[in-house]
Amino acid sequence: MEPDFMDPSHEWWAQPSDGCLVPLVLQCGQQPDLLPETSRWSRMGKSSSRISPLLRVSYWAGSSLFVPGTRKYNVSLFTLAVTALKLLVAWPVLCMLVCWAGNLGTTTQQLVDARSKKDSRYDNVSVLSREGSGQKRPFPNRHAVEQDAILPGPLQEARTPPSEQQYTDNIRLSGSLPPSGPRVDNSPTSLRPRYLCFVKDFEHGIYETVKVSDYLEQHGDDVDLEFVFVSYTRLQFRVATEEELDKHDYPDEATRDANKEVARQDREILAKWGMDAAKRVGKRAFWLDFECVRNDDGIARSTSSSQDVYRICDIVRAAHSMIIAIGPPANDKVASVLANSEPPEYKRENVTPWLRQWGSRLWTLPELLLCPAEYRIRLYVLGDPTEPKELAKRNFAERAWDDAEAVKELVDHFEGSAILTDLRLIEAALACFSRRQTDQFNKGDIAYATMGLFPNRHRPPVNKEDSGFQAFAKLSIANDSGAFLSRLISISPPDGAPWHQVEDTWGVRLSEIFPSVSISGVVGADTVMLDKVYGATIHWDNLEPEPYFDRSFGMRYVVFVGFSYFACFSIPMAFSLFTGIANIVLSDFMRLSIWQVYMWLLPLAVVFALLFPIVLISTRGRVKQPAKSRLIGIEGIVDSASIEKHLWGFNHGNLTATNPQHYTDEADFRALSTSRQFSGPSFGSGSFAFTLVDTYLMTATHFQCHLPPVAILECGSEGGLQRTLLCSYDARTNTFHRQAVLRVNRRGVEQLHRIDRIRLSLAPHPRHNEQTPDTIHDMPSSSFPSDDLEPIRVQNSATKTTSLINGFRTWKVEFLFFALCLAGSSTLGPSSTKAPIFHVSFLLGQLPGFILLQYLPLSHVTICTFAANVLTSIARSGGLFHGTAVLLSSVHGVLKGCLAVTLVKYMISWYPVKELPLRFLFWNVAFAGLISLLGSLPEITFHGISLTLDIGEIIFFANIILLYSTIQAGFSNILGGPKDVTWLLPHQKLYYSGHAAADSFHAKAAGAVWWNHPQSLSKALQLFLVFSITLAMSLTSQGVIHEDPVSGAGAVFMTVCAGLLIYRLPSMLFVVMVSVATTSGLLSVLTVSSFGFLEAVPFQLLGRINEFALPLFWAFLVRKSTTWPGSLGSVSLSWIGWATGQIIMDYTDNISTFAAQLPLLIGQMILWALLLVMCGRENRIRLPERTRDIFATTDGDIEDQDAERREDS
């Protein structure tokens, strides 16, 4: 399935090389069809090995000496004998690979890098900023972010004020609270409540809620303001006023009335207990939240927008003592009223469950921790006829909480018996509070409850818009400069755990982690800004082989390789270049001298061709020290042995397999690491399996997460192990999201780059349809400039598809086409020579070429056949004897046949079906015509010196340059299909491979009609038809003028016209093909009839028209084929037919007569008619929808193929 980079859910990432945002594309350990489907990223498929042929042959020869999986040698007389025999057998191949095609398996740059002090660290993590993001985003189809949303300041998005909820919480925060407010001043007012309930008459139970400031003005500053704090939970007591209950939705009025009755009773009982508690300690004041937390209007409600909501912990600290009120759940009391039954009776065994229900609430824990310890806490139980029970604070933990041990640690701290450090206090408080239940009126409940345990000066300002993580992060920064938060981001929580869950996968406590990063601020609802963090980029597309020679090689090896390089590469290159120059200037003396010099140096190159594999084998057992550290990601579970073969060509046990999920279970892990299959996520919804290869640490780590990480961040250490965060990247917000955490035994961090201004989020990586305002519009911290915190501004996602495609296209692919034309000049047409032996050899060479392409990578076959062609051409120019020249001519024909098949596969692997007619025409017709035009250039005279240029020799010289430049740069990285080369970006690889003709073969195979349909003609008849048509075309090609410049110009002109016509109207291919073939046959009939008007210029322009039909027929055969072997077989069969016709014409003159040409032309027209009937039969059979989209037979199917696919999806 073609990737849809326009899908809003598709992830993008920033390249470390230039910071440009590109689509996220992954290489896989197996075929993408076997992996779970996803739209978040694209897949390139299983990576093919790019180990050079020289190393493959060397390992084949030395495999008997190696012990797989180890660096040990198995040295014995038998293994030495077997190795020597293999070297002897492989010697001829090694000679060619070392001297011509292998380039010693390395490059000059790699040799220099292995010994130089070039930066060998991992690639840096690209951090986009506002200044550079605009120029570095060539694919701007991401989310639209409004200008106002990224301005400095608090969160800009509008929020719907939360409605007043059911009255089951502790004190509520209504929606009218301003988004943020100033810090509460450190004044006497902040040290005491704003309102208190003062008892006027204990006997009659009369009290009055008074504003403390007014009470002080009336009675003076020395008045006793000590009070009793009443703690309860609204799960057990209904305290809303009748006005509030009237606004609440109930199923019926009876329920509303029942709630009013229960609320009235509960308010009375809580006030009664407050007055009783104050009387028992000799005080006149008590504090009840629904009475004393009021808005500016002074009216008592159960909800409030007052800042007193966040000062309840200060009120508890200022209290004289505290009482706890418990009873049956309020809902049970409402139900009894509705049922006209008695309320739940008091039973002694209910006291502990009621007390635990009180203790399960979030806000009751800090009330107990902060209440004064010098007085015991009285427990009031609804319905208990006895006196209130007095309990010491230290004894409450076991009775009131299930997590008594954890709460006891906090109780001991606030009683002063076991003081905790700030770090441990935050950790213990967060652990306890996160277990508590609450009906949140604010997302920061847990953080604000924790905040209340700290002094007022250590609390950040309250911001209603803050998320829980934001509030807690600000608290951590204010108290320990973010040390706790630095540890929090380093833990490995269970999958799907909230941010406040501090449980670690490996059971490590936060206090045991030593952070190595600095948190400089909070920049979003779940995002912090990291400074001084060590990081590196993970590459998901470059499973390239490691250089042969790394930093572990001594100087003696470099000297040997340098001398070998000179003998095996530089000398042949110089010989080839000078031979090409000699051919251009037509100097026989220079050509002969070069041959004599090279014949003396050739034995030296042959000796080094044998010595080099021996040296290479002898160095394979050493510990690797890569010249460049790399992090390589692969989707799926891939065993370390397979990865090592891709990197070094053999499994020497260099890589150590690790598994963070089962790091202690070696047996289970071995079973996992040796498995190459992956059937789906094993834990968590939507998780995928990945493999991370570290070439510096020599590890292959298997892990699972929801999105592929693109970077690692070293954030801390514990127990001698580094905590490595694997982070995905959200290009919409320029934010990294923690996906997984690894424990790495890293040998220092000198190979990592230190990075600042990293935006890290602990929230799950959002999808497009899950994007929330909090994650798109982040609030920068006021402590640093907003320019660095601004999320990357993105453009509207309605950008046209054409602009995206233009970003995918590259001029390098067109340069590749020019190189193919150059390499295939005088190759694709048997008309390049009239020697019958060449035609026979050319046909014989297609069979080995076809077999090699079946079993070897395209890059290896290409470089070997092309180098052999160049070498043979050089040898043929050396003035050889006649017998040797004939033999080399035959060998050259075989090699050209191999190269021709290889180049055809190149064409169908790179270019779309729609472009093949134009490219085949330019390749086989226009390029040859252009050469004819250039060959007719007049003699150039400069300062009395005449210079005649031989275009053929210039092209030969250009082929030499092309060959050696390819070898010098590393042919394994330059040659191959779109997914094999390294000069394309991953998304470009998918684009070109997805649009190439070869990609449509698998889809057409399911619905192919003409070639494989059961009701169609037999295979033998199909092959016979291809052979017969090309044979007839070859026999009716009498009117060709190959070297005439006029016909060359006509070839170029007609190529452009015919190619553009078929490109714009693909359904015209058959019509143009038949018209060209028929016209060529008609001209042949007129030519043998000796008509004089054929010498006119208009007819000379048509001199090469017979060469047009064959390339068009190739394009037609490729379009109709269902597999690439089938397409190559059909093209080869067309060559056989054409070459057979040329051989027949060379051996007899009876064909070049009017009596023969006219029947041949008629027979050819009958064959075309038969082909037309078969095409009509195909069109009458209904194809599957998907097949019709790809197997296009109409103009719209070809031109609008991509648009139709998007509409269908």
Structure tokens at 226: 């000590």
Question: Cα(487)–Cα(476) distance, rounded to whole angstroms?
Answer: 11
Average pLDDT of the segment spanning 206-211 = 93
Tell me, what's the pLDDT at 181? 44
Per-residue confidence band for 500, with pLDDT thresholds at 50, 70 and 90: confident
Q: What is the pLDDT of residues 217-250, one digit of tens each?
A: 998 888 889 999 999 999 999 999 888 898 888 8
Tell me, what's the pLDDT at 326? 94
Q: 3-state class of 379 per DSSP? A: strand
Tell me, what's the pLDDT at 657? 87
- Beta strands at 699-705 and 688-694: parallel, antiparallel or unpaired: antiparallel
Residues 6+ apart with CB under 8 A from 704: 661, 681, 682, 683, 684, 687, 688, 689, 690, 740
Tell me, what's the pLDDT at 534? 92
Structure tokens at 641: 């042995």
Structure tokens at 427: 């950790």
Per-residue confidence band for 33, with pLDDT thresholds at 50, 70 and 90: confident
Residues 6+ apart with CB under 8 A from 992: 813, 910, 978, 984
* Cβ atoms of 27 and 993 closer than 8 Å: no
Q: What is the pLDDT of residues 911-928, one digit of tens each?
A: 998 888 888 888 887 777
DSSP codes, 123-170: PPPP---HHHHTTT-S---S----GGGGSSSS--S--PPPPP--TTSS
Per-residue confidence band for 707, with pLDDT thresholds at 50, 70 and 90: very high
Q: 3-state class of 899 per DSSP? A: helix
Structure tokens at 267: 């308010």
Higher confidence at residue 903 or residue 834?
A: 903
Q: What is the pLDDT of residues 378-424, one digit of tens each?
A: 999 999 888 899 988 888 877 788 778 888 888 889 888 888 888 88
Question: Cα(454)–Cα(459) distance, rounded to whole angstroms?
Answer: 7
Other Cβ atoms less than 10 A from the Cβ of 886: the count is 13
Tell me, what's the pLDDT at 459? 78
Structure tokens at 1079: 């016209």
Torsion of CA 68, 74, 79, 80, to 10 degrees: 120
Torsion of CA 462, 464, 467, 473, to 10 degrees: -10
Per-residue confidence band for 493, with pLDDT thresholds at 50, 70 and 90: confident
Average pLDDT of the segment spanning 779-797 = 39
Question: Cα(1076)–Cα(1061) distance, rounded to whole angstroms?
Answer: 13
- Beta strands at 699-705 and 42-46: parallel, antiparallel or unpaired: unpaired
Per-residue confidence band for 566, with pLDDT thresholds at 50, 70 and 90: low
* Cβ atoms of 25 and 986 closer than 8 Å: yes
Tell me, what's the pLDDT at 422? 81
- Residue in the structure block whose two tokens are 């004998």: 81
- Residue in the structure block whose two tokens are 């120019």: 877
Per-residue confidence band for 825, with pLDDT thresholds at 50, 70 and 90: confident
Q: 3-state class of 528 per DSSP? A: strand
Backbone angles phi, psi at 728, to 5 degrees: -85, 170
Q: What is the pLDDT of residues 1116-1151, one digit of tens each?
A: 888 888 787 888 888 888 888 888 888 888 777 777
Tell me, what's the pLDDT at 691? 94
Q: State the sign of the Cα–Cα–Cα–Cα dihedral 1034, 1040, 1042, 1047.
A: negative
* Cβ atoms of 215 and 196 closer than 8 Å: yes
- 559 pLDDT more than 90: no
Delimit the CATH 1.20.1250 region(s) of the chain: 809-1208
- Residue in the structure block whose two tokens are 């290889």: 902
Structure tokens at 927: 């390029």
Tell me, what's the pLDDT at 186? 43
- Burial, 474: exposed, middle or buried (Cβ in 10 Å; 0-12, 13-18, 19+)? buried
Residues 6+ apart with CB under 8 A from 637: 29, 672, 673, 675, 676, 677, 678, 689, 691, 702
Q: Which of 272, 288, 188, 268 is nearest to 228 (CA)?
A: 288
Tell me, what's the pLDDT at 91? 82
**Distance from first CA to last CA of the chain, Å, rounded?**
11
Mean pLDDT of the chain: 75
Tell me, what's the pLDDT at 583? 56
- 536 pLDDT more than 90: yes
- Residue in the structure block whose two tokens are 């899950």: 770
Higher confidence at residue 159 or residue 108?
A: 108
Tell me, what's the pLDDT at 1038? 62
Residues forming a β-bridge with 285: 198, 227
Other Cβ atoms less than 10 A from the Cβ of 129: the count is 15
- Beta strands at 735-744 and 758-761: parallel, antiparallel or unpaired: parallel
Per-residue confidence band for 535, with pLDDT thresholds at 50, 70 and 90: very high
- Give the class (CATH, top level) of 809-1208: mainly alpha
Tell me, what's the pLDDT at 872? 77
Question: Cα(1197)–Cα(418) distance, rounded to whole angstroms?
Answer: 79
Tell me, what's the pLDDT at 446? 79
Question: Cα(737)–Cα(727) distance, rounded to whole angstroms?
Answer: 5
pLDDT > 90 in the chain, percent: 14
Question: Cα(396)–Cα(359) distance, rounded to whole angstroms?
Answer: 9
Q: What is the pLDDT of residues 61-102, one digit of tens each?
A: 888 888 888 878 888 899 889 988 988 888 888 777 776 655
Question: Cα(183)–Cα(458) distance, rounded to whole angstroms?
Answer: 11
Tell me, what's the pLDDT at 1012? 47
Residues 6+ apart with CB under 8 A from 1021: none
Average pLDDT of the segment spanning 1180-1190 = 42
Tell me, what's the pLDDT at 787? 40
Tell me, what's the pLDDT at 692? 94
Query: C-alpha angle 642/646/648, rounded to 5°?
Result: 110
Tell me, what's the pLDDT at 102? 52
Give me the amino acid identity at 169: D
Residues 6+ apart with CB under 8 A from 989: 25, 44, 541, 978, 979, 981
Residues forming a β-bridge with 231: 324
Q: What is the pLDDT of residues 630-661, one digit of tens each?
A: 999 999 999 988 998 888 888 888 888 887 65
Question: Cα(1165)–Cα(1148) distance, rounded to whole angstroms?
Answer: 23
Tell me, what's the pLDDT at 736? 94
Average pLDDT of the segment spanning 287-304 = 82
Question: Cα(999)–Cα(544) distance, rounded to whole angstroms?
Answer: 23
* Cβ atoms of 698 and 631 closer than 8 Å: no
- 945 pLDDT more than 70: no
* Cβ atoms of 333 and 201 closer than 8 Å: no
Min mean pLDDT across 689-698, 772-781, 1040-1049, 1086-1095 is at 772-781
Tell me, what's the pLDDT at 575? 64
Question: Cα(758)–Cα(766) distance, rounded to whole angstroms?
Answer: 18
Please count the CA atoms within 13 angstroms of the CA of 427 that sit on its side-chain side.
21
Tell me, what's the pLDDT at 5? 75
Angle, helix 858-876 to helix 951-969, in steps of 10 degrees: 140
- 1016 pLDDT more than 60: no
Residue 782 is given by DSSP the state T
Q: 3-state class of 741 per DSSP? A: strand
Tell me, what's the pLDDT at 195? 92
| H or E element in which residue 1075 lies | helix 1069-1088
Tell me, what's the pLDDT at 188? 45
Q: Which of 164, 165, 170 is nearest to 315 (CA)?
A: 170
- 1052 pLDDT more than 80: no
Highest mean pLDDT pick, 734-743, 1031-1040, 1041-1050:
734-743
Tell me, what's the pLDDT at 735? 92
